[in-house]
Structure 1
Amino acid sequence: MTAVAKTTEHLPAKVSTKHTASAGQYLTFILGGESYAIGILHTKEIIDYGYLTEVPMMPSFVRGVINLRGSAVPVIDLQARFGKGNTLIDKRTSIIIVETLRDTEEGEPQDIGIIVDAVNEVVEINQNDIEPAPSFGASVPSNFINAMAKRDDSFVILLNVNRVLSIEEMAAVSRGVENA
């Protein structure tokens, strides 16, 4: 047994199989040619891309705000948030209104719009189709990914909405812009 122990002690640690995604309904969308999904319970509505009011001194991924039934809702360019440049606007571009929780102790809800290339459909994802996110090689920061879901012959990236759209983290980026 000691020979086996010596040969395995130099191997990398086992990749964690933990993920926080669970079976359920997900809204799928395309962004930069890749498929993503967010839990349907986070989704409030989908609207056509329309007029945005730009807000000065914001990070490049904050494209502006929209007036949604009398409330100012910030709109995030998800592709820019992932560090992949701005989304090119065309006729299929949509804004998904997502409800997130603020990073406060109260965890109060906050509506945020995210710009996506196109909205696909709502799909049912089973638990046995959910795999842990890779620890390397992902096109978005790994802390933004809950898991990967097998769909046909490919994968859909299941996003961690509260992490991607963390108000406090985005505010910290904004403060960095102000100090530049």
Structure 2
Amino acid sequence: MDPADTYLLLRLGQRHVALPHIAVREVLPLPRLFRPPALPRSMAGFLNLGGAAVPVLDLARLFGLTETAEAEAALYRHVVLLKTPLLGLLVDRVFDLVRVPTVQLRPLPEALSLNGCAAAELPLQDGFAHLLAPDRILLAQEAAAVHSLQEMAQTRLAGWAEPA
């Protein structure tokens, strides 16, 4: 089977979504994030990844899902790091890696999701997961705002690395 047919399954509340495995750099247990004042609600904060400020989006909040993980379950959340752009997605849980032939995907019209971010339905044994297009999760103006915030966070991190 083609590696492009491999998908990472994620849980957001009671919903399942998926990402192409080839778009994922790594999956992290919930790391310590720093959250400067005045971040948008959909941003969980920034991850210090070897001196690089990586923006982390709370995917459930970004999508307007009202379900939230219970306090105990929130301890076990994951951050999925995308390769390009280097961006973290905070999810309730990464729970599986599946192979589904491309011919079994059910493409979705772009108009059914904001910015066409849900590209297809991925069939599962107990239903389906929406396959997300990583490059369309953010609108252009949201991506520009995140980039600007990332530059400020990077400057702040760099200031701590410089000797006084």
1:153/1:48 CA distance change after superposition, 3 Å: closer
Which of these residues, 39, 42, 51, is aligned with residue 23 of structure 2?
42
Larger deviation, residues 157-166 vs 72-81: 157-166
What is the aligned partner in structure 1 of residue 119 from structure 2? 146
Deviation at 1:93, TM superposition (A): 0.5
| Residues 110-138 of structure 1: CA deviation (Å, up to 9, x unaligned) | 311110001011111112321122678x7
1:92 aligns with 2:76: yes
CA shift, 1:58, in A, is 2.3
1:114 aligns with 89
Query: Quick check: which one's helix share is greater?
Result: 2
Q: Does 1:130 align with 2:114?
A: no
TM-score scaled by length of structure 1: 0.68
Question: 1:59 aligned to 2:27?
Answer: no
Structure of greater Rg: 1
Per-residue CA deviations over 1:38-78 (Å, capped at 9, x if unaligned) read: 01111011111121111233211112101112211111000
Question: What is residue 151 of structure 2 aligned with on the other side?
Answer: none
Q: What residue is the counterpart of 2:8 in the other structure?
A: 27
- Mapped to 2, the partners of 1:67 and 1:172 lie a distance apart of 19
Number of the residue aligned with 2:132: 159
Identity of aligned residues (%): 29
Distance 1:87 1:141, change over 3 A: farther
Question: In structure 2, what is the Cα distance between the partners aligned to 1:65 and 1:52?
Answer: 5
Judged with a 3 Å threshold, the aligned counterparts in structure 2 of structure 1 residues 78 and 163 are, in CA distance, closer, same or farther, namely same
Equivalent-residue separation in structure 2 for 1:67 and 1:135 (angstroms): 34
| Compared CA separation, residues 85 and 56, structure 1 to 2 (3 A) | farther
Q: Distance in 1 between matches of 2:95 and 2:50?
A: 25
Query: 3-state DSSP class of the match of 1:53?
Result: coil
Say if 2:53 is the partner of 1:72: yes
Question: Considering only aligned residues, what root-mean-square deviation do their CA atoms show, in Å?
Answer: 2.8
Supply the AA of the counterpart residue of 1:171: A
Counterpart contact for 2:115–2:137, Cα < 8 Å: no
